[in-house]
Structure 1
Amino acid sequence: MVTTGPRARQVPTERDGADGSEPGRTPELLVLLSSVGAAVAAVAQPFVLGRTLDLLLRDGDAGHWLTLSAALLVGEMLLDGLTSLFTVRCNADWTAAVRSRAFAGLLGAVPDRARSHTPGDVGTRLTLNAADAGGAPAARAALAASLVTPVGALAALAVVDVWVAACVLAGLPALALVLRSFARDTGASVAAYQRAQSQIASRLLEALEGAATIAAAGTGARERERVLAPLGELAALGRRMWALHGRALGRSGVLVPLLVLAATAVGGLRLASGALSVGDLLAACRYAQLTAGVGGAASLLGAVVRGRRARDRTLELERLPALAHGTRTLPPEGRGALELRGVRVVRDGRQVLRADGVRIPGGTTAAVVGRGGAGKSVLAAVAGRLIDPDEGQVLLDGVRLDRLSREALRTEVSYAFERPALGEGTVADAVAAGPRTVSREQVRQAARAAGADGFVRRLPHGYDTPLPAAPLSGGEHQRLGLARAFAHAGRLLIMDDATSSLDTATEHEVDRALRRSPRPGTRLVVAHRPSVAGRADLVIWLEDGRVRAVASHRDLWREADYRAVFGIGGADRADGGGNERNDSTGGSGAGTGKAPAPGAGAARLPEPEERLPEPEEARP
């Protein structure tokens, strides 16, 4: 499906076999192995040093033990360096994977589900939260390796002297309680902190988008207060997390020296009794320090907890529901006949669209009109399967849209929106982007049809001008989006407010170009101007989420309620001879004060039995 607006962007996700898969366990395993290697070297070092000291005190040959001690020291340094290197690589790979998967999940999701997250919230999840989540695997590996040191040191201490080991072991439960309390309290604080960050980011982005309005209204101070309102909560949560971290380090900082002191005292008594040598006492004291060093795992534990909470937030984007596709293709002879059967869309318990028996013959232009909130954009989204209805079916040339393959849907249904997303390539690249292969000449033809060729040629490098360097107005930007939709138009082209920034003359030229298009297809146009509705072959009139009528603009204009949709009062109604008292009714008579003559400005509609062949599938 070709799309030209943020509401319609879709990219392959992991569910479709896209790139962005996890880097696997290899980076984490490398961190773990290097960390464990450094821990083993650290555990072996005290024993070797103690044996070396005993040999030196006895005037024995300590050459081999000195060499081994030096090798262990150098090995530990090298392994620590490798751990740092592997940690950086692991963090980078996992952060990139988390961001890619979350971004793919967001863009591949059902659009109205994706819009449940504000842009600021999405930005926070894809930047800060993704970085924290990407650091979790390496932190987890380092935390696992950090437990090797105290466990190995305690085992080695038991070999050196069981009484000293028992003394140290008695104090470990207190350290374990400190870590458990830290992990529990930190998890809740981190989650709240990340939510407050997202609130500030969302409000800031809203303020930036409305900066001109804020400046014009003179509400800068009030807006600043609104944006920074969560800052107090953020500061309080930040202080709480630092307090928890400091409390854990403080408690472990008291317990560790006490354990080491107790172990040293017991070791000294054992030395005095002749049960330990000087080297054994040195090793026992060092092992006591390493065993009690489990309290130093608080920093790594905090990183793991923070990463898990951040990963939960990125997973919410990654697991947004995506549209499932079938395997069908459209019949080759079709022209884009569209039918909505029993369609019902419900949001938050409220029915926002009800359309049954709406049939649009292939090759015609249908305008969708209604007051704000009537369901126009919802109908446009359902008609091209940006969303699935909660009930009912949508058929294109007799085939249900939900049974079409992704390729068939994207190729034959195109969208143009009010604010197209064009990317950062050249102007030609922006127009050519889509499922079809578009030549340079076709790009120019589409631009001419959209009324864009003139201003594009005046750009510094014409069609080769990079978009960031092109000074485009809102209307020009919109016309490039239209050109892209025209270049890839298939059987159904849906224009959701895609000409709102165009002047009336340009809009009329665009309509004429569409009618002369070499690719005859169906056009569904969300219209706000009576001139657009007047040029359409038929009008779908929505009111409070329901289809009130499907008829020509001329026939509907006789009803005051229909005229009121365009802001036309009851006095401005057509008289018995077909003349209209207000020239704003649009149609081919717009600007003349006359209503269109019968049949003018709209193609003749076939009789209902002629409009649409009986679909292949009557029911699901």
Structure 2
Amino acid sequence: MPVPEQAEEQVKQKHGDRLIASLVRGTWAPLAVAGVSAAASIGISLALPAALAAAVNSVLTGRASPIACASLAALLVAEAFVEITTHIAGITSVTSATSLLRLRVIDRLLQSDVGGAAALPAGELTNRLVGNTSTVGYVPVTVVSAAAGAVTSLGGAVALFTIDWRVGLAFLAGVPVAVVVTRVLVARISSLYGAYQRAQGRLATRLTETLAGIRTVRAAGTASREITRVLEPLPELSAAGRALWRAQAHSVWHITLLLPLMELLVLAVAGLGIAQGRLQPGVLLETAGYTALALAFVKQIDPLLSLAYGRSAAVRVHDVLALPALPSGGAPLAEGPGALSFRGVTVMRGQTPVLDDICLEIPAGALTAVVGHSGAGKTTLALLAGRLTDPDRGQVLLDGIPLGDVDPGLLRSAVAYAFERPVLLGGDIASAIAYGASVSTPEAVSAAARAAGVDDVVRRLPLGYATPAADAPLSGGEVQRLGLARAFFRRGRLTILDDATSSLDTATEAQVTNALVDAMRGRTRLVIAHRPATAARADLVIWLDGGRVRGRGAHRELWRDPAYRALFASGDDPGAIDPGDDTAAAAAEGTGHAVADEEEACTSMQ
């Protein structure tokens, strides 16, 4: 691997390790209990072989000692109690760490720039949120377990030397080989597990995409093709899984052979000492017990592999936590009618500008339609208007206050959104319409639904407004109208409709447009428009082309341009001007100058 890639991997791993360290701090209470239990377990484990040897020697010499037998029994009972306590503390630590990490991931996703969050597909995010966080959640308690194993191993080795220095040296003879085998295994598993997780993420992403479009797949009869596409990463996943298995199998047989050989060597030396009269018969049991404890470092392969898996998963989780979050301002939002300003706004996606040096003034209280071909930057402009994303350069202001300086809670109460594919959150239909509002009344909810042309639909449902949103048999257009009702209910000083009427029929869109024009008069409205009738009712039309403002003015004025007329599916526009109307033509000509003057003024303000 080239050096730059190695350096990048090392930096990512450091971030992952810091994430694990933060989990340790966040779950210190159950970890402390697990640590105390582990310490007690170490003490009991180290005392048991000696107690067993003392009890056996007392019996073999004919001088049975009640104290020795009682001590052995007490240690066995204590070992059972400590094991139960350790298990409970471990489960508590894992659940606490996993919950804490998942909350952090969800919080970052909700607070992040929507453009940055979109860089990771939904399936990949699900895999990291569910699978990877669970794997990382095991790491803190696994660290405690591995540390306890290391101390136990050290204690067992020291105990072997206290029995007889020859026994201790016999054990040390096999330690270097065991350490090398263990280290090689863990290193190989760590690299292979990362490849396995990446393949699993790609598989999850494709499956999520297919499930989201299941009706299209069924209608097109392309189930077999989709199955093939979804399972395309499967050979890579299978190869990574087999590589993991081969790495484990290759090393496990070495360890399986090594452990009995080390035990046999140590017991042989101890047996020779008994035969020579240097050691008592019970020492053989003591030696066997301490040898098993001393070999605990080799048996720590499972915890070490869990740590390797956890570190790899922590890197993937950190990638989500590293998504750019929108900085939170704390300033109040000044009172105002909702004037919206874009000053030198540029948004980049990689090396490509989505919006390029946009300068716009949206008048307060106006209904403004934004039009343009797909990819012109309309949705990005809508996201910027309510600060769901931030520009790379420039500023967006609401009533003269930069959105980045405003307290997020105050901004959310001042701006209402409706989207192309709304998600009905909150429980029942009424709660979905009032979602995000601190106070609601049935009258206000139904009024918003009437404005969106969906009140009659809701009332026909079995439970009306109390119908659970997830169970309501609604079409795509009806769901979109509920999203509009939610925006109408919020009554913000700025209302943004991001392609929120695309699924409506002509009659319903006319009804919604009437509500935008009449019922919301006095509030600023920004609408992504695709139909000429909507643009014709707007006070102002912004024409985007290639991320820049190509035209600005009344729809009737812009209609003279053939390129503008080509934006709409129908060439017949009720709001179109008469080509021979010189007054309108002059107004249309003046629109270009208005745009140029506005951009010049915007540039001078920067």
Secondary structure of 1:265 counterpart: helix
Among candidates 260, 263, 266, match of residue 260 of structure 1:
263
Deviation at 1:518, TM superposition (A): 6.0
Q: Does 1:88 align with 2:91?
A: yes
Among candidates 59, 62, 70, match of residue 59 of structure 1:
62
Query: Is this contact kept in 2: 1:344–1:351, CA < 8 A?
Result: yes
Deviation at 1:169, TM superposition (A): 1.4
Deviation at 1:355, TM superposition (A): 4.5
Amino acid at match of 2:452: A
Distance 1:356 1:314, change over 3 A: closer
- Give the Cα–Cα distance (whole angstroms) in 2 for the partners of residues 113 and 22 of structure 1: 28
1:127-178 per-position Cα deviation (integer Å, ceiling 9, x unaligned):
1112111122222211111112211111111111111011101211111111
Among candidates 183, 194, 206, match of residue 203 of structure 1:
206
- Give the Cα–Cα distance (whole angstroms) in 2 for the partners of residues 219 and 277 of structure 1: 78
Deviation at 1:80, TM superposition (A): 1.5
Deviation at 1:397, TM superposition (A): 1.0
Query: Is this contact kept in 2: 1:337–1:359, CA < 8 A?
Result: yes
Aligned residue for 1:485?
487
Query: Is this contact kept in 2: 1:168–1:259, CA < 8 A?
Result: yes
Aligned residue for 1:11?
none
Distance 1:524 1:586, change over 3 A: farther
Query: Is this contact kept in 1: 2:560–2:579, CA < 8 A?
Result: no
Deviation at 1:425, TM superposition (A): 0.2
1:350-392 per-position Cα deviation (integer Å, ceiling 9, x unaligned):
1111254311110001100011111111111122211111111
Deviation at 1:436, TM superposition (A): 4.2
Aligned residue for 2:43?
40
Amino acid at match of 1:462: G
Aligned residue for 2:247?
244
Q: Does 1:498 align with 2:504?
A: no
Normalization by structure 2: what TM-score? 0.89
Query: Could you list the runs of 5+ residues in structure 1 that have no partner in the other structure?
Result: 1-19, 573-581, 599-604
- Give the Cα–Cα distance (whole angstroms) in 2 for the partners of residues 518 and 552 of structure 1: 19
Q: Does 1:223 align with 2:226?
A: yes
Secondary structure of 2:395 counterpart: strand
Secondary structure of 1:296 counterpart: coil
Among candidates 420, 423, 429, match of residue 421 of structure 1:
423
Amino acid at match of 1:484: R
Secondary structure of 1:248 counterpart: helix
Aligned residue for 1:118?
121
Deviation at 1:435, TM superposition (A): 4.2
Distance 1:196 1:400, change over 3 A: same
- Give the Cα–Cα distance (whole angstroms) in 2 for the partners of residues 128 and 470 of structure 1: 31
Q: Does 1:554 align with 2:556?
A: yes
Deviation at 1:342, TM superposition (A): 1.1
Secondary structure of 2:323 counterpart: coil
Query: Is this contact kept in 1: 2:333–2:407, CA < 8 A?
Result: no
- Give the Cα–Cα distance (whole angstroms) in 1 for the partners of residues 426 and 411 of structure 2: 26
Distance 1:278 1:519, change over 3 A: farther
Aligned residue for 2:172?
169
Distance 1:316 1:350, change over 3 A: same
Q: Which structure: greater helix fraction? A: 2
Aligned residue for 2:459?
457
Q: Does 1:287 align with 2:251?
A: no
1:43-80 per-position Cα deviation (integer Å, ceiling 9, x unaligned):
11111111222222222241101100111111112212
Among candidates 514, 517, 521, match of residue 515 of structure 1:
517
Query: Is this contact kept in 1: 2:174–2:262, CA < 8 A?
Result: yes
Among candidates 179, 203, 210, match of residue 182 of structure 2:
179
Taking the TM superposition and a 5 Å limit, the aligned residue runs for 1:337-376 are 337-376=339-378
- Give the Cα–Cα distance (whole angstroms) in 2 for the partners of residues 248 and 172 of structure 1: 15
Query: Is this contact kept in 1: 2:346–2:393, CA < 8 A?
Result: yes
Normalization by structure 1: what TM-score? 0.87
Aligned residue for 2:80?
77
Deviation at 1:293, TM superposition (A): 3.1
Distance 1:395 1:331, change over 3 A: same
Query: Is this contact kept in 1: 2:203–2:234, CA < 8 A?
Result: yes
Query: Is this contact kept in 1: 2:517–2:537, CA < 8 A?
Result: no
- After TM superposition, where is structure 1 displaced by more than 6 Å over at least 4 residues in a row? 592-595
Aligned residue for 1:306?
309
Query: Is this contact kept in 2: 1:340–1:355, CA < 8 A?
Result: no
- Give the Cα–Cα distance (whole angstroms) in 1 for the partners of residues 402 and 419 of structure 2: 24
Aligned residue for 1:575?
none
Taking the TM superposition and a 5 Å limit, the aligned residue runs for 1:143-158 are 143-158=146-161
- Give the Cα–Cα distance (whole angstroms) in 2 for the partners of residues 271 and 251 of structure 1: 30
- Give the Cα–Cα distance (whole angstroms) in 1 for the partners of residues 48 and 521 of structure 2: 79
Aligned residue for 1:394?
396
Amino acid at match of 2:185: F
Distance 1:51 1:232, change over 3 A: same
Among candidates 270, 276, 279, match of residue 276 of structure 1:
279
Amino acid at match of 2:303: L
Distance 1:269 1:519, change over 3 A: farther
- Give the Cα–Cα distance (whole angstroms) in 1 for the partners of residues 24 and 309 of structure 2: 22
Q: Which moved more, 1:286-295 or 1:103-112?
A: 286-295
Query: Is this contact kept in 1: 2:448–2:489, CA < 8 A?
Result: yes
Deviation at 1:349, TM superposition (A): 0.6
Q: Does 1:102 align with 2:105?
A: yes
Aligned residue for 1:471?
473
Deviation at 1:198, TM superposition (A): 0.7
Distance 1:387 1:21, change over 3 A: farther
Distance 1:22 1:586, change over 3 A: farther
Question: How high is the sequence identity, in percent, across the aligned residues?
Answer: 41
Query: Is this contact kept in 1: 2:185–2:247, CA < 8 A?
Result: yes
1:255-303 per-position Cα deviation (integer Å, ceiling 9, x unaligned):
1111111111111221122211112232122212221232211111111
Deviation at 1:424, TM superposition (A): 5.2
Q: Does 1:190 align with 2:193?
A: yes
Aligned residue for 1:411?
413
Query: Is this contact kept in 2: 1:367–1:526, CA < 8 A?
Result: yes
- Give the Cα–Cα distance (whole angstroms) in 2 for the partners of residues 565 and 71 of structure 1: 86
Query: Is this contact kept in 1: 2:98–2:136, CA < 8 A?
Result: yes
Distance 1:271 1:238, change over 3 A: same
Amino acid at match of 1:77: A
- Give the Cα–Cα distance (whole angstroms) in 1 for the partners of residues 330 and 142 of structure 2: 44
- Give the Cα–Cα distance (whole angstroms) in 2 for the partners of residues 373 and 21 of structure 1: 46
- Give the Cα–Cα distance (whole angstroms) in 2 for the partners of residues 562 and 259 of structure 1: 84
- Give the Cα–Cα distance (whole angstroms) in 2 for the partners of residues 47 and 306 of structure 1: 37
Q: Which moved more, 1:157-166 or 1:352-361?
A: 352-361
Deviation at 1:101, TM superposition (A): 1.2
Deviation at 1:594, TM superposition (A): 13
Root-mean-square deviation (CA, aligned residues, Å) is 2.8
1:537-574 per-position Cα deviation (integer Å, ceiling 9, x unaligned):
01000111110111100000001111011145xxx6xx
- Give the Cα–Cα distance (whole angstroms) in 1 for the partners of residues 198 and 66 of structure 2: 60
Amino acid at match of 2:457: F
Aligned residue for 1:526?
528
- Give the Cα–Cα distance (whole angstroms) in 2 for the partners of residues 137 and 586 of structure 1: 68
Aligned length: 574
- Give the Cα–Cα distance (whole angstroms) in 2 for the partners of residues 288 and 322 of structure 1: 53
Amino acid at match of 1:556: L
Query: Is this contact kept in 2: 1:370–1:376, CA < 8 A?
Result: yes
Aligned residue for 1:15?
none
